[in-house]
């Protein structure tokens, strides 16, 4: 029986992880659930799964939460400090980091320090502070198992032969605007951007998929997770999203991991690794997919992918700066404050503005994040 803490249990990955856990009740138990703001869903989840503790990050919701759960033995906490500390409790075996954005950083660092296995769905954590996080994980002998479907694919391809990698291919669906020109993208709307062709995900990542920033973040995530040079990471557009990613080995042989686009599979694998357990998830049918297509990404129409590679190559705090300005720009786009293309402009200008810092520590990341956010905000407030 593995005891799981889910950070971000009310989000897309969090709710799917709870579905997985309730399907495999004999293998997993929910120890901790945390949410940022969605107190009603957190209450429902706590009543069903009866965890040891729940945390709501937004302290204004504490009273609602504790009132609703007062007749249960579930311990109730609120606030950022509680969120950062709860991951260290003795009884947790695996921390599933499924919150969105930069907010995942400190809880993940604390969980690694406490020796917890990490199932990582929060890609921003590695984008922002990959050098520090992977160094810390090595030092504490902690495994980071990717939940992101592409990284899970690569991780699965590398089992048994992690050292003979020539390069990897990260597949991308291309999002809802694949094939559109720069010109025609000027006028796309929020609701168009929120229509992802294959995956059901939260709003932030869906916009990141439409701009291809998601793939840029994933390239940086892969850079740190698998210790690869930027030139060893190639993005290939694959609209059907059934080849989840590929590894090319030094002899030229390629392994791919395939399956239906369903996050429950990589979630299950991360929770059962190094084992596999029998599931009755819908099986892939080759004859349902008579054609699989591949094309090169269009970085002219989707400059965010190019910006992410620039940040990855620059290293230091630049990926953190890029991520912060992207979070601000995506939120502004979702609030109808800027257009689709302005997202890239905000990121580009912020990356030009802020000076890089080599071999940053936690304080450097925190400063860079703050500085980038306020500069990006200042660009939007015109
Ligand atoms: Mn992905």
**From the CB of residue 264, how many other CB atoms can be counted at a distance below 10 Å?**
17
150 CA distance to ligand 1 middle (Å): 5
d(CA 112, CA 142): 6
d(CA 258, CA 266): 11
Task: Identify which of 301, 317, 300, 318 has the alpha carbon closest to the alpha carbon of residue 309.
Answer: 318
127 CA distance to ligand 1 middle (Å): 13
Global pTM value: 0.94
For 291-349, what is each residue's pLDDT tens digit? Answer: 999 999 999 999 999 999 999 999 999 999 999 999 999 999 999 999 999 999 999 99
Domains and CATH numbers, the chain: 2-146 (3.40.50.720), 151-309 (no CATH), 315-382 (1.10.1740.10)
d(CA 230, CA 151): 15
**From the CB of residue 318, how many other CB atoms can be counted at a distance below 10 Å?**
24
β-sheet with 53-56: strand ranges across = 75-78, 53-56, 28-35, 2-7, 94-97, 117-120, 144-146
Average pLDDT, the chain: 96
Residue 213 in contact with residue 120, Cβ under 8 Å? no
Q: Which structure tokens are listed for 166?
A: 């020539």
- The residues, any chain, with a CB within 8 Å of residue 216's CB and separated by 6 or more, are 304, 305, 307, 308, 309, 311, 312, 322
For 99-128, what is each residue's pLDDT tens digit? Answer: 988 888 999 999 999 999 999 999 989 999
Residue 8 in contact with residue 99, Cβ under 8 Å? yes
334 CA distance to ligand 1 middle (Å): 20
- Confidence band, pLDDT 50/70/90 cuts, at residue 382: low
For 166-197, what is each residue's pLDDT tens digit? Answer: 999 999 999 999 999 999 998 899 999 998 87
214 CA distance to ligand 1 middle (Å): 7
For 257, phi then psi, to 5°, come to: -115, 135
Model pLDDT, residue 358: 92
For 10-45, what is each residue's pLDDT tens digit? Answer: 999 999 999 999 999 999 999 999 999 999 999 999
234 CA distance to ligand 1 middle (Å): 14
319 CA distance to ligand 1 middle (Å): 18
76 CA distance to ligand 1 middle (Å): 32
């Amino acid at each position: 029986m593995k005891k799981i803490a889910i950070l971000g249990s009310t989000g897309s990955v969090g709710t799917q992880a709870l579905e997985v856990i309730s399907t495999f009740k004999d293998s997993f138990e929910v120890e901790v659930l945390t949410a940022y703001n969605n107190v009603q869903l957190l209450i429902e989840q706590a009543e069903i799964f009866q965890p040891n503790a729940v945390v709501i990050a937004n302290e204004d919701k504490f009273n609602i939460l504790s009132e609703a759960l007062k007749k249960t033995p579930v311990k109730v906490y609120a606030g950022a400090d509680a969120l950062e500390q709860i991951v260290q409790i003795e009884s947790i075996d695996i921390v599933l980091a499924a919150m969105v954005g930069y907010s995942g950083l400190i809880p993940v660092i604390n969980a690694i320090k406490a020796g917890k296995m990490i199932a990582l769905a929060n890609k921003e954590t590695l984008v922002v502070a990959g050098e520090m996080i992977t160094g810390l994980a090595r030092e504490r002998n902690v495994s980071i198992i990717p939940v992101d479907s592409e990284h899970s694919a690569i991780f699965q391809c590398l089992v048994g032969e992690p050292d003979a990698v020539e390069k990897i291919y990260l597949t991308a669906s291309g999002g809802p605007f694949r094939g559109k020109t720069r010109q025609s993208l000027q006028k796309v709307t929020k609701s168009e951007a929120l229509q992802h062709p294959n995956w059901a995900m939260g709003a932030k990542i869906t916009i990141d998929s439409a701009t291809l920033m998601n793939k840029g973040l994933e390239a940086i995530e892969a850079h740190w997770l698998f210790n690869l040079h930027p030139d060893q990471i190639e993005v290939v557009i694959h609209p059907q999203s059934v080849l989840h990613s590929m590894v090319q080995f030094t002899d030229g042989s390629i392994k791919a991991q395939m399956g239906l686009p369903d996050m429950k599979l990589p979630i299950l694998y991360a929770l059962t690794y190094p084992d596999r357990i029998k599931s009755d998830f819908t099986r892939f049918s080759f004859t349902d997919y008579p054609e699989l297509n591949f094309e090169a990404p269009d970085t002219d129409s989707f400059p965010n992918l190019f910006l992410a590679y620039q940040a990855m190559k620059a290293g230091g705090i630049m990926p953190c700066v890029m991520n912060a300005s992207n979070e601000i720009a995506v939120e502004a786009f979702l609030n109808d404050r800027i257009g689709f293309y302005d997202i890239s402009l905000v990121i580009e200008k912020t990356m030009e503005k802020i000076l890089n810092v080599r071999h940053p520590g936690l304080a450097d990341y925190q400063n860079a994040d703050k500085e980038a956010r306020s500069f990006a905000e200042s660009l939007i407030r015109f």
